[in-house]
Amino acid sequence: MAFKPEVDAIRASLSYKLKKSLLLYCSAVLTTDPLVKNDPDLLPLEEVVERSDILVVCTPHKVYKNLDTKGKPMFDVWNFVEGESKARENPSGGAVDAALARGAGVEPTST
């Protein structure tokens, strides 16, 4: 949620704008950031991974480098996360599009 990696500042963070936009289409948007301490809505990373249908990495903190997504689809804005749990093999979105569509209550479109 921080506006750049390895800092705790949220000023002008696009992550909050994305969250606001997603809330128009999703029943809940869970957020986490191990460095930000002044947002009471943030949850522990493990809880966010467990409870989420899809994960979006907006800030490339080092702690996310080898993130275990528990097999959940992930959209990594920075193409930063390494490991087997990457869900970016299809650049058009594939599983990510489908999960976002389910959250929004609409049918995914095919490309």
Ordered by start, the domain boundaries in the chain are 14-104
Query: Residue 99: its pLDDT value, please?
Result: 54
54 is written with which tokens?
């899809």
Q: What is the pLDDT of residues 46-99, one digit of tens each?
A: 999 999 999 999 999 999 999 999 999 999 989 999 875 555 444 445 555 555
pTM: 0.74
Q: Where are the beta strands (DSSP E) in 5-62?
A: 55-57
SS3 content of the chain, % helix, strand, coil (to 5): 25, 5, 70
Instruction: Kindly tell me if the per-residue pLDDT of 26 is higher than 60.
Output: yes
Please list, residue by residue across 25-41, b when 16 or more beta carbons sit within 10 angstroms of its beta carbon and e when fewer do: ebeebbbbbeebeeeee
| pLDDT recorded at residue 34 | 95
**Strand, coil or helix: what is 100?**
helix
d(CA 32, CA 79): 18
Residue 74 — φ and ψ, nearest 5°?
-140, 140
pLDDT above 70 as % of the chain? 75
CA distance 66 to 111: 30
